């Protein structure tokens, strides 16, 4: 019957007509009955009286019933039960008139000839009115009970929704929306930040919020109690604020109040308090949740730092040991050593120093990848040159494996940062030589694939254990090493991934490749049109 | 001249072999190489070396397991290589029967000294009770006499017991536990505070400069070591 618009806070509350549509109808204006929407009940009440009259005439034409007035009471009870007190009172008056008109001698006049008839007529009126009031009140209470059930159900749902929100801002937004819905008033939440309040959420968001309202809010926050409820404040539109309190007051929740109306109705007030309480609980919960998750992040960072430190100290120790060992050999026993041995020790010092330099560079690259601070200076790059470079770096670092380079004919240049992509490929080749064993064959292959280019590094070593395969691109993941030492920071593949992704490419690992052996790491880079 | 002293180097890092091999060869050691614990066990069983240099961090076996298994059939001297901060690991290795340790990274001179001490000790085992001479300090374990430049130094019986334990292992590390057990008995194996007190007293008497000890050296967290005797009974091979 009455469609309720939930959005405008200044809509007049809907009269108590249609059963269960909203809390708004819990606070009807007393005058609402006289407005347009009360017309239906008036018509129906009149119809009921007319029916009662016809029934009464029908009955008396068959048998002389002494108390036809009972039939009219039925109409009153009907009206009270279905429409409430005011239509029932109307029914009472109409019944009184109809009874007088049709059934009291002289018929079809409003005059009464016998004094006792007059008495009976007034007793009927009193009974009718009392019936109307009693039945109407019963109806009112039943309606209220239903409304309360609905209200608590909505509160429950609100509480549940709030508690599912992990973000304080979502809680605040949800809360102002709910208050706005329930009380049909503009609502706002202000949170304290170092003593001063600031609007954290409002519904409707564009609602004017003046400095006078802010001072009322400050009062509510400072006192920690309801403020702004006193009637008669000067401003035409003022606010009413409740503190949001958990262990301490964190802010205030406010609704617009029309000063001419006086304070909120008690039920609305209770509702507002309940909503405020739910909101502050949910807010506290969300804040704790955030604290926990940031603590977890910090712990994870700490863990990564520890892994990094232990990884560095472990992986740097071996090259340092060889530098120190070779140097002390030369210092203490150089004179006893043949020329070739002396030279080899010097070469070892140089090699290991380069190795250390490479590890430091990888660590720095990793921190840049982590911080998303890779500087990509793109240029047109020939893949074959990168492959040759990667293989020669590996040989210089003592790789004894055989290398094969396969590059498709007429392969276009690729748009990439030559230094970074070179480092990524060097890391892939280094990874292959470290894990595939000294007798392995490492193949570097490049070919077109649709709109992209595939670069792959394949070895015929023992492969990556299935347990490690999904994690090979994570930091500090080491596979089993073979042959020429396990000097790695566990960062090589992670860095390669970071570099490839900085080029809008993807990287993947498969193992085994052929038979039960081999590992292939494939990089896919997008191809750009070459300039003419 | 007997055959060259054979040293087995067990380490999975090729870089370590790369600098150790020429230096050891220059000192007339015959160098055997093993990259894994399994290889090391096989070599010590089939072709026993005179001394073993063992890295505790091996890819296949825990270095401590290698010591335990070798000790089941052989008393070949074992010098372990281990990271400086891993005292627990070194103590465990010494308890299992390793003779000495060198912290990684190490200077080659230090490793050479440990090898000499380990070899000398093994050769003395069946021989004479030693007289240890360190820069004018002479410790005669049998006659319970300590002299510096001919002047006798008075020691209490406890002090002498302590010094003689170190002298019997001159040049080698002796763990706290070992010293306490030998001097105070098994009931006092944990009482390192005794040890610190007595070592302090002993240093006052035998060191030239007690604040900068050159005779009784501290191995932090592990034990003590008497400096290498100046007139080694076993000269360097070759």
Query: What pLDDT sits at residue A454?
Result: 93
In a domain? residue A169: no
Name the DSSP letter for residue A16. T
- The pLDDT confidence band at residue B53, using thresholds 50, 70 and 90, is very high
Nearest to A322 among B16, B59, B112 (CB): B16
pLDDT at A524: 94
Nearest residue in chain A measured CA to CA from B16 = A322
Per-residue pLDDT of chain A (532 residues; tens, 9 = 90+): 334 344 444 433 433 333 333 334 444 444 444 445 568 888 888 898 899 888 888 888 888 777 788 888 888 888 888 888 888 888 888 988 888 888 887 888 888 888 888 888 888 889 988 988 998 888 889 888 998 888 888 888 888 888 788 788 888 888 888 888 888 888 888 888 877 888 888 888 776 677 778 888 888 888 888 877 665 555 555 788 888 887 788 888 888 876 666 667 777 888 888 888 888 888 888 888 888 888 888 887 787 777 677 667 767 887 888 899 999 999 988 888 889 989 989 988 988 888 888 778 777 877 777 777 777 888 888 899 899 988 888 887 777 889 999 998 888 888 888 888 888 898 899 888 888 888 889 999 999 988 889 999 999 888 888 888 888 888 777 666 544 444 456 778 888 888 898 888 999 999 888 888 889 999 999 987 765 5
**Does residue B140 or residue A307 have the better pLDDT?**
B140
Helix ranges (H only) for A185-265 are 211-223
**A485–B15 CB contact, under 8 Å:** yes
Rounded CA gap, A141 and B75, in Å?
100
Indicate the DSSP class of residue B130. P
Q: Report the number of distinct structural domains present in chain A.
A: 3
| C-alpha distances in Å from residue A204, one per residue of A235, A243, A258 | 20, 20, 17
Q: Inter-chain contact A485–B20, Cβ cutoff 8 Å?
A: no
Cα gap A469→B19, rounded to integer Å: 35
Same domain, A147 and A192: no
Same domain, A104 and A210: no
pLDDT at B236 over 70: no
Are residues A40 and A147 both part of a single domain? Answer: yes
pTM of the model: 0.55
Contacts of A485 in chain B (CB under 8 A): 12-15
Among A273, A290, A307, residue at a domain's last position: A290
Q: In whole angstroms, what is the distance from residue B142 CA to residue B164 CA?
A: 9
A386 and A497 in a single domain? The answer is yes
Interface contact B18-A480, CB threshold 8 A: no
CB A398 within 8 A of CB A352: no
The whole-number pLDDT of residue A481 equals: 54
Q: Measuring CA to CA, how many Å separate A402 from each of A391, A395, A438, A458, A459?
A: 9, 9, 9, 12, 10
Query: In angstroms, what CA-CA distances link A33 with A41, A129, A265?
Result: 9, 17, 19
Looking at A255, A290, A325, which one is the last position of a domain?
A: A290
Q: Is A201 a member of any domain?
A: yes
Closest partner residue to A325 among B12, B16, B27, by Cβ? B16
Based on the fold, state whether residues A459 and A519 are members of the same structural domain.
yes
A447 part of a folded domain: yes
What whole-number distance in Å separates Cα of residue B159 and Cα of residue B145? 12
Q: What digits encode the pLDDT tens for the residues B195-209?
A: 999 999 999 999 988
> What order of strands is seen across the sheet that includes strand A441-449?
A402-407, A441-449, A452-459, A519-526, A506-510
The answer to whether position A166 is within a domain reads: no
pLDDT digits (tens, 9 = 90+) for B33-50: 998 899 999 999 888 899
Residues A516 and A394 in one domain: yes
Per-residue pLDDT, B171? 87
Q: Is residue A226 part of a domain?
A: yes
Count other C-beta atoms under 10 Å from residue A460's C-beta.
Answer: 21
Q: Which residues of A350-362 are buried (b: 16+ CB within 10 A; e: fewer)?
A: ebbeebbebbeeb
Domain boundary among A121, A143, A159: A159
- CB atoms A318 and B18 under 8 Å: no
The reply to whether residue B59 touches residue A480, judged by beta carbons under 8 angstroms, is yes
Judge: B105–A352 Cβ closer than 8 Å, yes or no. no
Q: Measured between beta carbons, which residues in chain A are less than 8 angstroms from residue B84?
A: none
Tell me the C-alpha distance between A25 and A484, whole Å.
Answer: 83
CB A101 within 8 A of CB A109: yes
Question: Do A145 and A207 sit in the same domain of this protein?
Answer: no
Counting one residue from chain A and one from chain B, the pairs whose CB atoms sit within 8 A come to 77
Residue A286 falls within a domain, yes or no? yes
Both A154 and A207 in one domain: the answer is no
**Are the beta carbons of B15 and A324 separated by less than 8 Å?**
no
Cis peptide before B207 (omega within 30 of 0): no
- CATH number, residue A250: 3.30.450.40
For residue A507, whether the previous peptide bond is cis, meaning omega lies within 30 degrees of 0, is: no
Cβ separation of A485 and B14 shorter than 8 Å?
yes
- Residues ≥6 apart with Cβ < 8 Å to A167: A286, A290
For residue B187, report the phi and psi dihedrals to the nearest 5 degrees. Answer: -70, -15
Q: For the residues B149-166, what does the mean pLDDT come to? A: 90
pLDDT of residue A5: 40
Chain B residue whose CA is closest to A321 = B105
CATH number at residue A388: 3.30.565.10
Cβ distance B105 to A337 less than 8 Å, yes or no, reads no
Nearest to A485 among B13, B105, B108 (CB): B13
pLDDT at B238: 39
Å between B66 CA and nearest CA of chain A: 20
Residue A515 sits in the same domain as residue A390:
yes
| Closest alpha carbon within chain B to A487 | B13
Query: Are A209 and A132 members of one domain?
Result: no
Smallest CA–CA distance, residue B23 to chain A, in Å, is 6
Q: How close, in Å, is residue B169 to chain A by CA atoms?
A: 25
What mean pLDDT is predicted for residues B161-170?
A: 89
Interface of B with A (CB under 8 A): 12-16, 18-20, 22-23, 25-27, 59, 83, 104-109, 112
**Contact flag B15-A352 (C-beta cutoff 8 Å):** yes
A255 and A272 Cβ atoms separated by less than 8 Å: yes
Length reported for chain B = 238
Residue linked to tokens 């702004």 = A228
A216 and A279 fall within a common domain? yes
Q: How many CA atoms lie within 13 A of A507 on its CB side?
A: 25
- Is residue A334, in this structure, part of any structural domain at all? no
Domain presence at residue A450: yes
Residues A149 and A192 in one domain: no
Closest CA–CA distance from residue A397 to any residue of chain B (Å):
11
Query: Can you give the residue range of the structural domain that contains A440?
Result: 374-526
How many angstroms separate the CA of residue B103 from the nearest CA in chain A? 10
């Amino acid at each position: 019957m009455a469609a309720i618009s939930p959005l405008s806070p200044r809509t007049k509350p809907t009269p108590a007509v249609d059963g269960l549509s909203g809390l708004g109808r819990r606070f009807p204006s007393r005058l609402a009955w006289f407005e347009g929407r009360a017309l239906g009940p008036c018509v129906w009440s009149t119809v009921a009286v007319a029916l009662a009259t016809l029934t009464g005439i029908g009955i008396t034409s068959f048998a002389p019933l002494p108390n036809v007035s009972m039939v009219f009471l039925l109409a009153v009870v009907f009206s009270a039960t279905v429409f409430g007190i005011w239509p029932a009172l109307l029914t009472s008056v109409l019944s009184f008139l109809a009874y007088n008109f049709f059934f009291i001698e002289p018929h079809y006049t409003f005059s009464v000839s016998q004094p006792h008839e007059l008495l009976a007529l007034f007793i009927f009126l009193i009974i009718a009115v009392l019936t109307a009031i009693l039945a109407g009140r019963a109806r009112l209470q039943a309606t209220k009970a239903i409304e309360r059930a609905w209200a608590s159900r909505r509160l429950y749902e609100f509480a549940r929704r709030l508690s599912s929100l992990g973000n304080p801002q979502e809680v605040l937004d949800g809360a102002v929306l709910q208050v706005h819905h329930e009380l049909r008033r503009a609502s706002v939440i202000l949170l304290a930040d170092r003593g001063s309040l600031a609007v954290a959420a409002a519904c409707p968001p564009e609602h004017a919020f003046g400095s006078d309202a802010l001072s009322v809010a400050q009062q509510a926050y400072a006192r920690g109690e309801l403020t702004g409820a006193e009637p008669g404040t000067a401003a035409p539109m003022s606010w009413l604020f409740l503190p949001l309190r958990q262990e301490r007051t964190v802010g205030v929740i406010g609704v617009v109040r029309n000063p001419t109306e006086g304070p909120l109705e008690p039920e609305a007030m209770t509702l507002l308090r309940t909503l405020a309480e739910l909101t502050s609980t949910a807010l506290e919960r969300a804040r704790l949740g955030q604290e926990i998750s940031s603590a977890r992040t910090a712990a994870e960072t700490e863990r990564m730092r520890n892994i990094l430190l232990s990884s560095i100290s472990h992986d740097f120790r071996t090259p340092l040991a060889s530098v120190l060992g070779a140097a002390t050999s030369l210092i203490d026993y150089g004179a006893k050593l043949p020329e070739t041995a002396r030279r080899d020790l010097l070469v070892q010092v140089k090699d290991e120093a380069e190795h250390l330099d490479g590890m430091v560079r990888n660590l720095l690259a990793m921190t840049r990848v982590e911080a998303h601070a890779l500087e990509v200076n793109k240029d047109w790059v020939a893949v074959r040159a990168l492959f040759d470079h990667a293989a020669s770096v590996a040989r210089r670092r003592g790789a004894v494996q055989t290398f094969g380079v396969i590059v498709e004919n007429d392969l276009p240049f690729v748009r990439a940062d030559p230094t970074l992509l070179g480092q990524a490929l060097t890391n892939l080749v280094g990874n292959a030589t470290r894990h595939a064993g000294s007798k392995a064959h490492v193949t570097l292959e490049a070919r077109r694939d649709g709109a992209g280019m595939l670069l792959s590094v394949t070895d015929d070593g023992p492969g990556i254990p299935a347990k490690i395969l999904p994690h090979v691109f994570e930091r500090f993941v080491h596979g089993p090493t073979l042959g020429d030492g396990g000097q790695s920071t566990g960062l090589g593949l992670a860095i390669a991934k970071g570099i490839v992704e900085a080029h809008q490419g993807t990287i993947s690992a498969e193992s085994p490749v052929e038979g039960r052996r081999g590992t292939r790491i494939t990089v896919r880079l997008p191809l750009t049109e070459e300039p003419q | 001249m007997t055959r060259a002293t054979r040293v087995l180097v067990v380490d999975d890092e090729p870089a370590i072999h790369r600098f150790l091999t020429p230096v050891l060869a220059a000192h007339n050691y015959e160098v055997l190489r093993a990259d894994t614990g399994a290889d090391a066990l096989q070599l010590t069983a089939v072709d026993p070396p005179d001394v073993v240099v063992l890295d505790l961090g091996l890819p296949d076996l825990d270095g401590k397991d290698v010591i335990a298994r070798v000790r089941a059939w052989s008393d070949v001297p074992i010098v372990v290589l281990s990271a400086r901060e891993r005292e627990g690991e070194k103590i465990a290795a010494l308890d299992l029967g390793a003779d000495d340790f060198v912290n990684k990274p190490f200077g080659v001179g230090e490793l050479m000294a440990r090898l000499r001490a380990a070899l000398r000790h093994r050769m003395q085992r069946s021989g004479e009770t030693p007289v240890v001479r360190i820069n004018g300090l002479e410790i005669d374990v049998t006659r319970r006499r300590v002299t510096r430049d001919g002047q006798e130094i008075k020691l209490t019986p406890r002090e002498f017991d302590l010094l003689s334990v170190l002298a019997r292992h001159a040049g080698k590390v002796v763990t706290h536990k070992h010293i306490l057990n030998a001097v105070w008995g098994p009931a006092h194996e944990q009482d390192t505070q005794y040890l610190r007190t007595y070592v302090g007293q002993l240093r006052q008497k035998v060191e030239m400069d007690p604040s900068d000890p050159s005779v009784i050296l501290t191995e932090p967290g592990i034990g003590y070591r008497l400096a290498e005797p100046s007139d080694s009974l076993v000269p360097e091979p070759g």
